[in-house]
Amino acid sequence: MSSTAPDPRPAPSPDEDGRAPGDTAHADTVGPGSREPSTDRRRGVFIAFEGGDGAGKSTQVRRLAERLTAAGHAVLTTREPGGTPVGERLRSLVLEHGDVVVDARTESLIFAAARAAHVEQVIRPALAAGRDVVTDRYVDSSIAYQGAGRGLGSADVEAINAWATGGLQPDLTILLDVDPRAGRDRRAGRAPEDRMESEPDDFHTVIRQTFLHRAATSPDRYLVLDGTLPVGEIAARVGDAVLRLADGSLPDVPDAASAAGRLTAPPPDDTAVIPLPEPGAESGATTTRAAGRLADHR
């Protein structure tokens, strides 16, 4: 990421659909010719991609949108921080280098504020209209980067985000796992590093551990994939999993004022540190559930 607003990322490569999630500071509906939002299903499916910087999330967001669109779904792709005009402005506050001092708690609240707008203005309406929503990052990024990376602890970060989102959770979170150094290498020579990306490898290693740990504690809500696999192979696995999910019945979206969205006693802290494999130990490995992924790391 570079330091210019609103979306300084390099243009997508030619084999992709030419759109960055959240382009033009708004979420983007893919597939103008796709079906009208269904009337026979209550809502669309909500998918989040998570992982370190350079893990391949944006690439896979686009690939999944193409697959869902081809299957006749109406799809909305979006990203965090951003996805709304206010979110894009908040994005520049926390990602640009500059003379504005943003301490850890402020940073956490800014990400949560951008997310509140994103959920209220974009995600909930799209799901209610029967659109599938695919977001590049969501609450887990705050738990990993602010909770663990900045040392705020997962419990408080989880609590403010439960309130910000009214308890809205993805139906499935796809975690693309790559060694932070590999992610950094992938970005080399592209846009200048933003505030987060320029943090040292140790910071990004803790973030990776936190994502993996969260996935391991709720394996039914996560699909964990080795982000070093070929793009097409990851896309195929993701598409298969999401289409299976979308074909099934989905639980109701919690109301914004539901108990899950109230600031109550926080859940127990779960930012345990998980040992990582030695460099190179995971090469070629494919593990689709976090528990298995973590087993690989022991």
Ligand X SMILES: Nc1ncnc2c1ncn2[C@@H]1O[C@H](COP(=O)(O)OP(=O)(O)O)[C@@H](O)[C@H]1O
Binding residues, as ranges, are 51-58
Q: Should residue 158 be labelled a site residue for ligand TYD when binding is judged by CB under 6 A?
A: no
CA gap 211, 95 in Å, rounded: 20
Q: Should residue 81 be labelled a site residue for ligand TYD when binding is judged by CB under 6 A?
A: yes
What is the contact mask toward ligand X in residues 186 to 215, using x (rule: CB under 6 A)?
x-----------------------------
# of chain residues touching ligand X (CB under 6 A): 15
CA gap 3, 241 in Å, rounded: 35
CA gap 61, 33 in Å, rounded: 19
Tell me which residues in 88-107 interact with ligand TYD (CB under 6 A).
95
CA gap 14, 173 in Å, rounded: 26
Assess contact for 87 and 49: CB atoms under 8 A: no
Bridge partners of 50, per DSSP, are 175
Bridge partners of 29, per DSSP, are 76
What is the contact mask toward ligand X in residues 31 to 60, using x (rule: CB under 6 A)?
--------------------x-xxxxxxx-
Nearer to ligand X, 139 or 253 (CB): 139
Nearer to ligand X, 200 or 230 (CB): 230
Known binding-site residues for ATP equal 51-58
Nearer to ligand X, 43 or 57 (CB): 57
Residue 89 Cα distances to 4, 71, 80, 93, angstroms: 11, 34, 12, 7
Please choose which of ligand X, ligand TYD, none residue 63 contacts, taking the beta carbon within 5 to 8 angstroms, the exact cut-off set by kind. none
CA gap 252, 263 in Å, rounded: 21
Rounded to the nearest whole angstrom, what is the least distance from the CB of residue 196 to ligand TYD in the complex? 3
Tell me which residues in 218-237 interact with ligand X (CB under 6 A).
227, 229-231, 234
Tell me which residues in 186-215 interact with ligand TYD (CB under 6 A).
196-197
Kindly report the number of other CB atoms within 10 A of residue 181's CB atom. 14
Rounded to the nearest whole angstrom, what is the least distance from the CB of residue 154 to ligand X in the complex? 22
Nearer to ligand X, 8 or 254 (CB): 8
Q: Should residue 135 be labelled a site residue for ligand TYD when binding is judged by CB under 6 A?
A: no
CA gap 107, 95 in Å, rounded: 10
Nearer to ligand TYD, 186 or 289 (CB): 186
Binding test (CB under 6 A) with ligand TYD, winner from 23, 50, 53, 132: 53
Nearer to ligand X, 9 or 221 (CB): 9
Q: Which two structure tokens, joined as six digits, stand for 87?
A: 């979110």
# of chain residues touching ligand TYD (CB under 6 A): 16
Residue 34 Cα distances to 7, 22, 171, 194, 278, angstroms: 26, 19, 22, 36, 45
Full 3-state SS string of 127-179 = HHCCCEEEEECCHHHHHHHHHHHCCCCHHHHHHHHHHHHCCCCCCEEEEEECC
Contacting residues toward ligand X, per CB under 6 A: 13, 51, 53-59, 186, 227, 229-231, 234
Contacting residues toward ligand TYD, per CB under 6 A: 1, 53, 57-58, 79-81, 95, 111, 137, 141-142, 145-146, 196-197
